[in-house]
Amino acid sequence: MPAPKEIKRISEVIWEIPQTYKKGMKVPARIYATKELLDSMDEGVFEQVTNVACLPGIQKYALCMPDGHWGYGFPIGGVAAFDFENGVISPGGIGFDINCGMRLVRTNLTIEEVKPKLKELVDLLFQTVPTGVGATGFVKLSNSQFDEVMVKGARWCVEHGYGWKEDLERIEEHGAIKGADPSKVSKKARERGIDQLGTLGSGNHYLEIQVVDRIFDQNVAEAFGIEQEGQIVVMIHCGSRGFGHQIATDYLKVFLDAMKKYGIPLLDKELACAPIDSPEGKDYYSAMLCAANMAFANRQVILHRVREAFEKVFKKSPEELGMHLVYDVAHNIAKAEEYEIDGKIKKVLVHRKGSTRSFGPGHSELAEIYRDIGQPVIIGGSMETGSYLLVGTKRAMEETFGSTCHGSGRTMSRHKAKKEINYNQLIKQMEERGIYVRAASKSGLVEEAGAAYKNISDVVEAVDRAGISRKVAALRPIGNIKG
């Protein structure tokens, strides 16, 4: 789909749709992409990012990353920051799978050591980590314990033996965002979430054994625990599952009424919102953080189970195997952060929808081990094409509210993928590439074929050129578990 004729090229990888493009736009819209990626974007991206630019209290720009594609409300890859005094909060700018995110774990193992035991390892992980729609976990919670998980997040897990204390400093917000209030969560959401801790879910969620394929920055890589090409790492991609989905569903209904109450024009019902400072806005924010913290806990329990499986297969403790967490970062979230806007430091609510935090060196929110280097940024690709480890930059803080891309981005709908991609052929192709896969369903696997996604290397190259995150290492899949 060609971009709007009004779009202007600001730099090699920045494009701007002016405020005059659509009635009601309060700021311009900016898209980070190469010309090739821009031309491949669907019409929905341009429509949605300019709709976002119309929302009350938006600051500087409505942004879309190079993995951008049509989503619910915001485009996937959308970023927007709203003033706390007159801005809004919108579930469509966060996503239904609240705090869907990435977790990367390093090991001391090499490809030579893992290859002979790869099938055994993947099969055991498939048994150990429940996957697919309706999957339930091995951690059984009472209602009061679930309240604690909503507030404490990954810290609750570590306190109960599901992880190491050091894990917490390697998670965004140390694994628990302040402000969560379980009383703002519906009974239905509780029922959907209480037994889902430690489960992978469905769709594009995965647990993947990867090999470090190429190192671009040796010094930064070593600081992150990535020492050599051929090293084995583990990547986890999942979120708050049905719990977050229900919270988003509940509040979308509330916000449609709130928009009438507060006189907010309705451009698109998928952009239902409420003033940040309103009772409705505060309630949703508190409930959304419950889901975000549950997602941090979910990935923490999965890591615990992964460590157990590696110990069983390799007959060494996770400590001996060097199974340290590199980082855990959200890519469906809204967070209170501070940025310089018009020469002043301003508190804003940053919505990231299919976009990852990319804080640069020196930021006070980073753990000491990474403060001088910048935040590890984990970019997940498709199960065929590999993933990337990047590092955050000061330019991201200046231009994109500390944000970058989150993955490769779909180019083919799930329905189309099921029609056009053959399951047996896909399995054969993956085997030929040295990738062993286990999936909860055939259709689920076909939907996630590499052909359904943009080229991850093109997306990462765009953000690297833009300077909003820098390449550290490329990671290649060898074993994959799909929901």
The answer to the question of whether 252 is labelled as a binding residue is: no
Nearest to 234 by CA among 99, 53, 105, 365: 105
| CA 116 remoteness from chain centre | 32
205 annotated binding-site participant: yes
Q: Is 443 annotated as a binding-site member?
A: no
Pick from 29, 32, 36: which is nearest to 4 by CA? Answer: 29
Select from 187, 146, 163 the least CA-distant residue to 319. 163
Q: How many CA atoms lie within 13 A of 438 on its CB side?
A: 21
Catalytic residue among 69, 245, 304, 406: 406
Asked whether residue 304 is marked as a ligand-binding residue, the answer is no
- Encoded amino acid at 432, one letter: E
207 annotated binding-site participant: yes
User: Has 163 been labeled as part of a binding site?
Assistant: no
Active site residue 406: yes
Do the annotations mark residue 324 as ligand-binding? no
Q: Is residue 328 a contact partner of residue 172, using CB atoms and an 8 Å limit?
A: yes
Q: Is residue 387 a known part of a binding site? A: yes
Q: How many other β-carbons are positioned within 10 Å of the β-carbon of residue 110?
A: 15
User: Is 208 annotated among the ligand-binding residues?
Assistant: yes
Question: Is there a contact between 360 and 372 (Cβ–Cβ < 8 Å)?
Answer: no
Q: Is 406 annotated as a binding residue?
A: yes
CA 27 to CA 22: how far, in whole Å?
10
Ligand-binding site membership of 40 (annotated): no
Distance from the Cα of residue 23 to its chain's centroid: 32
417 CB-near residues (< 8 Å, 6+ apart): 446, 447, 448, 449, 451, 452
225 is in an annotated binding site: no
Q: 102 among the known binding-site residues? A: no
Can you say which residues are annotated as belonging to the binding site? Answer: 97, 204-208, 237, 331-332, 380-383, 387, 406-409, 482
Residues annotated within the binding site for Mn(2+) are 97, 205, 237, 331
Catalytic residues, by residue number, are: 406
